[in-house]
Structure 1
Amino acid sequence: MTSTTERPARAARPPSWWDRQGDLLMRRPFSEFTFTHMNWLMPTERVSRGDVHRPLPFESHRLDLTYRFEGTDRTLDELHRRTNTTAFVVLHHGRVIHEYYPGVFAGPRTRMQLFSVSKSVTSLLIGIAMAEGKIDSLHDRVADYRKDFVGSAYEEVTLGELLTMTSGVGGLEVWDVPDSDIKRFEQAAMGGGDLAAVVRATQRRAPAAEAFNYSTLDAQVLGWVLEAATEMTLASYAADRLWRHLGADRDAYYWLTRARPRTALGAGSFNATARDVARLGLLMAHDGVVAGRQVVPRDWVRRSRGSDLPQLAVGALGPSGYPHYGYANQWWTLGSTAFDAFAAVGVHGQYLYIDPSADVVIVKCSAWPTQDDPGRDLETITALRRIADHFASTR
């Protein structure tokens, strides 16, 4: 029997610790620990370094230079303090010329949580898979590899559109809106939800191929396509085709979703030492070659350094990109030619900065208090440019 008395509305359940664990793990000062110990917190899959180790030559060089930011000359010590640096490695001509670990838990053998630097790693693996014939064309559709995406907004999206983040699926990536696409993605990844279901449910917001919109979901779909095409997990393919050729110091790893079937985040769960990330930078600075071996196709490396698409030019990315960046192939570009600087960038201040002309590679890991910070980002890029310019002028 139905009562005629109107019952008071039930109060919404406040978010639990489990719901909010992503926020808590990424909050300072906890993040100094979590960003260096993700393998203590989440399931993982190893990316084996293989049998070959090539130590990086070391030639200590004191960096007393300053950079100018907001009308003030600042030192690198100020940069590290102002931008919460945890690890900092500078290579010139393949040599470690400066190395510093101000992070509480950081050191040369510490594997760092790299966030969206992972996207750039996924791009390298896509290029390798294409060279092997595992992927036919950048015009291939998502549904050609993942039938479970038929009927979703991603069904007709091409791999080229995923690589340039022009899928048109999903809105602006905002971390401070509880029900945003990225927050639902994070909660599913870390809390045991169905990650693929979250991505499949994302709605189209714009026509494909027209405009850049930074999207972790685009990059995640790209990683799933790679796994389907190669019939290997992301970690095993990365180990066999990339990591074992670098001469890395340590195994890397991806952390995996809690829910089964567990999956790596090709969009953001790669962890490696700062020195080994610098080895990836050397690979890109040297046209995909390591010790005489073409590991990543040269044309793919060049494609990652700049794009001819006007909507991807420096300063043209719109509201989801800072004015000093362009975009190409899951990399952030800083100029218009193949020899200009470019970077892989992750939230909370993770950088792999590459200047091929100066033959300089810089890795900066950080523990920013927020995911994004336009001021800290611009200051960091300003300082990294200054370092590269310094060594370019001393050649």
Structure 2
Amino acid sequence: MRLGAGRIALAVLAVIVVGVAIFGVAKWREINRVRFVSSMFSGVEQVDRFRDMDSYFPVRAFQRSGPVSVLPAGSKITLPETFDWYGETREIASFLDETDTTGLLVAKGDGTLVYEKYWRGNDADTRWISWSVGKSFISALVGIAIEEGKIASIGDQLVKYAPELEGTAYDGVTVMDALEMSSGVAWNEDYSDPESDIAHFGRALALGDSMVDFAKTLKRKHEPGTVNYYNSMDAQVLGLVLQNATGMSPSEYLEKKIWSKIGAEHDGYWVLDDTGTELAAGGVNMTLRDYARFGLLYLNEGSWHGEQVVPADWVKASHTPDAPQLMPGEQEISDTIWGYGYLWWLPREVDGPYAAVGIYNQFIYVDPAHDLVIVKTSANSDYGQTNDETSWREDETVALFEAIAETAGTAN
């Protein structure tokens, strides 16, 4: 009897082990996803994850088509050895290493590449996560939707196109308010705080929850259009507006309106939540050169080889602050010293270079005065461990770009 009971116990245990194993295999991506999100901003190395996002999340591809637009090799520049940041001298090689740089590219306005280098196992075929650089793609798509009459006006309220937001903190917020990070919705984007809104947002995404449902939980803090407080959910709800207004997901609209027109070299993909909704706040994945092509599109005022892909006046408006809270400089009605446009940053002057910027030091830097685009992909493992520039190193990166622009601008 005792032996029989032991066999039964072993059989039951075996069934449990097999069941757990089957569950584990079925949920392997979800389990890894939770591990991934929980380790962000902890100092853990992220390089392998950032080039393999489709192993963690569902994605939707946007496909290239037509001839590849050649980015010809030009006279190569040598990076300066140092750059200056507020009176402090920084060594460029050390800075690139410390910020876990995976790619750096410098292109002239005609597409000529004067610098291109990869590190940490990346190469020209590596697709890399944009993080908030993807917000600037949302901006471009909104501009196209307005040009096509899909969105009647940036002055329209979001709920006109996204009735799902009626009765929420986004009821009464306009398309322009969201583009300018001036929705007035209460939000904390402190990556070093595990209880911040952005941390809760990341966990909701990891657990497969709806991002639209998450938006409905937020509260109002300021009158819309009065303060500029960075809020990733503002871009996220614009993704919902785009989908409802155009009848296409942001990735489908991107493929039709931009990706098929600029001679992209590779297909890209967009991270989704488990309901099939794009992470409009930062889920674009593409190669370094294709990020550069998007930057060149903006440098050339939305035109690509004679075809107006993004309206020229939209490109201009996107990097022209039009309200007090959007102006560069320290002020109480903004949580940053940088200026802001339509989901584009102005790190210095109103009429100076502008940039798409993502966490961990992703950059598309557009410098019209020097006729340059600079792209940097990175996995700065220190990022977000503090809620300031000591771990962000974003303003420092702009100083690096300024030094590179001076070198490239004087090269033959």
1:111 corresponding residue in structure 2: 127
1:44 corresponding residue in structure 2: 59
- The residue type paired with residue 189 of structure 1 is L
- The residue type paired with residue 328 of structure 1 is G
The alpha-carbon deviation at position 83 of structure 1 amounts to 2.0
Structure 1 contact 345–352 (Cα < 8 Å) conserved: yes
1:80 corresponding residue in structure 2: 96
Of 20-29 and 299-308, the range deviating more from structure 2: 20-29
Q: Within the alignment, does 1:100 sit opposite 2:117 as a pair?
A: yes
The alpha-carbon deviation at position 309 of structure 1 amounts to 1.3
Structure 1 contact 52–245 (Cα < 8 Å) conserved: no
In 2, Cα distance between equivalents of 1:318 and 1:266: 28
Q: 2:74 aligns with which of 46, 59, 66?
A: 59
In 2, Cα distance between equivalents of 1:160 and 1:204: 17
In 2, Cα distance between equivalents of 1:108 and 1:26: 27
Structure 1 contact 28–367 (Cα < 8 Å) conserved: no
1:195 corresponding residue in structure 2: 211
What is the percentage of aligned positions where both structures have the same residue?
Answer: 34
- The residue type paired with residue 62 of structure 1 is I
2:309 corresponding residue in structure 1: 295
Q: Relative to 1, partners in 2 of residues 1:74 and 1:43: Cα closer, same or farther, differing over 3 Å? A: same
- The residue type paired with residue 201 of structure 2 is F
Structure 1 contact 52–244 (Cα < 8 Å) conserved: no
The alpha-carbon deviation at position 181 of structure 1 amounts to 1.7
In 2, Cα distance between equivalents of 1:204 and 1:308: 23
Q: Within the alignment, does 1:378 sit opposite 2:395 as a pair?
A: yes
- The residue type paired with residue 317 of structure 2 is R
1:361 corresponding residue in structure 2: 373
| Structure 1: stretches of 5+ with no match in the other structure | 1-15
Q: Secondary structure at the match of 1:138?
A: coil
Of 169-178 and 133-142, the range deviating more from structure 2: 169-178
- The residue type paired with residue 379 of structure 1 is E
Q: Secondary structure at the match of 1:343?
A: strand
The structure in which a higher percent of residues are helix is 2
Q: Relative to 1, partners in 2 of residues 1:62 and 1:391: Cα closer, same or farther, differing over 3 Å? A: closer
The alpha-carbon deviation at position 106 of structure 1 amounts to 1.0
Structure 2 contact 104–117 (Cα < 8 Å) conserved: yes
The alpha-carbon deviation at position 41 of structure 1 amounts to 1.7
The alpha-carbon deviation at position 139 of structure 1 amounts to 1.2
The alpha-carbon deviation at position 320 of structure 1 amounts to 6.4
In 1, Cα distance between equivalents of 2:358 and 2:261: 24
Aligned residue pairs total 375
- The residue type paired with residue 304 of structure 1 is S
Structure 1 contact 254–270 (Cα < 8 Å) conserved: yes
In 1, Cα distance between equivalents of 2:315 and 2:332: 25
Q: Within the alignment, does 1:272 sit opposite 2:289 as a pair?
A: no
Q: TM-score when scaled to structure 2?
A: 0.86
Q: Within the alignment, does 1:333 sit opposite 2:346 as a pair?
A: yes
2:359 corresponding residue in structure 1: 347
1:33 corresponding residue in structure 2: 48
Q: Secondary structure at the match of 2:114?
A: strand
Structure 1 contact 140–158 (Cα < 8 Å) conserved: yes
2:404 corresponding residue in structure 1: 387
1:5 corresponding residue in structure 2: none
Q: Relative to 1, partners in 2 of residues 1:19 and 1:178: Cα closer, same or farther, differing over 3 Å? A: farther
Of 203-212 and 53-62, the range deviating more from structure 2: 53-62
| Structure 2: stretches of 5+ with no match in the other structure | 1-30
Q: TM-score when scaled to structure 1?
A: 0.90
Structure 1 contact 141–156 (Cα < 8 Å) conserved: yes
Bigger radius of gyration: 2
- The residue type paired with residue 385 of structure 1 is E
1:314 corresponding residue in structure 2: 328
The alpha-carbon deviation at position 92 of structure 1 amounts to 1.8
The alpha-carbon deviation at position 206 of structure 1 amounts to 1.3
In 2, Cα distance between equivalents of 1:351 and 1:318: 26
The alpha-carbon deviation at position 359 of structure 1 amounts to 0.7
Structure 2 contact 41–192 (Cα < 8 Å) conserved: no
1:13 corresponding residue in structure 2: none
Q: Secondary structure at the match of 2:253?
A: helix
2:158 corresponding residue in structure 1: 142
Of 137-146 and 74-83, the range deviating more from structure 2: 74-83
2:14 corresponding residue in structure 1: none
2:221 corresponding residue in structure 1: 205
The alpha-carbon deviation at position 179 of structure 1 amounts to 3.2
In 2, Cα distance between equivalents of 1:73 and 1:19: 40
